[in-house]
Chain A
Amino acid sequence: MNRVRTVGSAILERHGFFSIDQIIESTKISRRYCRDVLALFCQEGIIRQIKKNRKERFGKPPTYSMIYRSIDRKRLAARIRPRRFENTVQDRLWNVIWNKYVNNGSFNLHDLTVLAGAEKGTARWYLKALRRAGYILPSRKAGPGVEWRLTRKLGPERPYLDHSRRIKDAKKHGPI
């Protein structure tokens, strides 16, 4: 996960006001990078910087405590969501899976390689990922010509893999 996403997730976990120290503590990212990301979010108008008054402490230099406040949580969530490109191999594979499932009730590896024009290895990897995520089930245990079916109606928008290679539901998280 990149820094923007890590810091953004940490901000989303907090409600309302937060300081850079709190973000550093939860993300374990150095102050320098945290500051850069917060400055970026400030520029984009997602968070706002609130400068508090000068605090005088006897025998020590004065301090300025800086706090931030998230303004637009929806925009922040959209900002850190993985970007999706259109007409990728996965899009094509999902299109075939969805159309075959809706119209025929099942699909197989041959459908994916021929109709979506994907390499056999890519199609196999995709089926494996969907199966691990619990979205598809095979008709039988193993062997050639296994027919697959969806466990539930997921819609024409494909689920996507997040940073940890887990498949996420497009309906819940929504594409950009």
Chain B
Amino acid sequence: MRDKFVEVRNVRKFRAIMDRMHRHLKGQGRLALIFGDPGLGKTETALNYAANNGAIYIRMKKLMKGRWLLRDLVNALGSEPRWTAEDLFNQVTDILKQRKRTLILDEIDYFSQDSRVTETVRDISDATGVEILFLGMGQADKRLMRYPHLYDRFFEILKFQPLDKEDVELMAKDLSEVTFEADAIDKIVDESGGGIRRILALLHRGEYVAHKNRLKFVSVRDLK
């Protein structure tokens, strides 16, 4: 298997949203929401984007409150956090005003219960105009609908879909050193249900069988 980041359909859509978010009109909401079931590559895509574009990635925690979030933000921005909540907020806004950086907040389901955290994020967005991407699990959009003033600011909402045949073909082509036949691809799509981890496991198995038997092509029989 090759170590490579494969640009499947979800990733292409993710990048398109980020691109549109940067070009979005000032004054309008620069927030976007991406959600989907676990195992579809949301976090990996976000980390890849953060590494290549210098964005700030923060994973929310279940017990996270507003002050904790602000302190994490200051740390992620490379500064020493001050003590009071007011100072922390001012510190975050000052740094982000000086140098605009995209914020990616992962696992937003955790703070969707706490209105103070959502309001803090909204305040940061309003005060600095930075782009903020929310990443959440399956029901994240429904949870955030409870905050209309925040939900209204999402200029784009995307749901990550399970990977289809085209994506699996692309993954097999990019990652595997052997060729997977069409029937093998169909089997992988059916068995995996579109989840990346399962697809990788099946591709790995196919490749292992091919190496053991010195095969150049992997068919459905080899995946049994």
The answer to the question of A45 belonging to the interface, with a C-beta cut-off of 8 Å to chain B, is no
The answer to whether A156 and B51 touch across the interface, beta carbons within 8 angstroms, is no
Query: CA A87 – CA B4 in complex, angstroms?
Result: 19
Interface string of A71-106 (1 = CB under 8 A from B): 000000000000000110001110110011011000
A98 (CB) vs chain B CBs: closest residue: B76
Instruction: List chain A residues, Cβ under 8 A from B106.
Output: 103
The answer to the question of B59 belonging to the interface, with a C-beta cut-off of 8 Å to chain A, is yes
Measured CB to CB, the closest approach of chain A to B214, in angstroms, equals: 23
Residue of A nearest to B5 (CB): A114
Q: Would A156 and B50 count as touching, CB distance under 8 A?
A: no
Interface pair B51/A95, CB less than 8 Å apart: yes
Q: How far is the CB of A84 from chain B (nearest CB, A)?
A: 13
Q: Are A115 and B5 in contact (CB under 8 A)?
A: yes
> How many B residues touch the partner, as a band?
10 to 19
Which residue on A lies nearest to B46, using beta carbons?
A99
| Per-residue contact bits, chain B 1-29, to A (CB 8 Å; 1 contact, 0 not) | 00111000000000000000000000000
With A95-B54, A120-B3 as given contacts, are A115 and B76 in contact (CB-CB < 8 Å)?
Answer: no
B137 within 8 A of A: no
Indicate if B178 sits at the interface (CB-CB under 8 A): no
A89 to B: closest C-beta gap in Å: 10
A99 vs B53: C-alpha distance when bound (angstroms): 14
- The reply on B35 being an interface residue by CB < 8 A is no
CA distance A102 to B47 in the complex (A): 12
Does A116 interact with chain B (Cβ within 8 Å)? yes
CB of B48 closer than 8 Å to a CB of A: yes
Q: Which residues of A contact B3 (CB under 8 A)?
A: 109-110, 113-114, 120
Given the known A-B contacts A99-B47, A114-B5, A115-B44, are A87 and B52 also in contact in the complex, defined by CB atoms under 8 Å?
yes
Question: Do A87 and B47 have beta carbons less than 8 Å apart?
Answer: no
A103 touches B48 (CB 8 A): no
Interface flag for A117 (CB, 8 Å): yes
A145 CB contacts on chain B under 8 angstroms: none
CA distance A126 to B50 in the complex (A): 19
- B121 interface residue (CB < 8 Å to A): no
Residue B57 interfacial (CB < 8 Å): yes
Q: Is the CB of B47 within 8 A of A115?
A: yes
Neighbouring A residues of B50 by C-beta, 8 Å: 95, 99
Q: Which of A87, A95, A113 has the most CB of B within 10 A?
A: A95
Query: Is the C-beta of A157 less than 8 angstroms from some C-beta in chain B?
Result: yes
User: How far apart are B89's CB and chain A's nearest CB, in angstroms?
Assistant: 19
CB-defined contacts of A155 to chain B, threshold 8 Å: 75, 78
The closest CB in chain B to the CB of A123 belongs to: B3
Which of A86, A96, A115, A116 has a CB less than 8 Å from the CB of B54? A86
Tell me which residues across on chain B come within 8 A of A86, comparing CB atoms: 54
Interface string of B32-59 (1 = CB under 8 A from A): 0000000000001001101111100101
A147 to chain B, nearest CB (A): 16
The answer for the CA separation of A26 and B105 in the assembled complex, in Å, is: 53
**Closest chain B residue to A96 by CB distance?**
B51
A-binding residues in B (CB < 8 A)? 3-5, 44, 47-48, 50-54, 57, 59, 75-78, 106
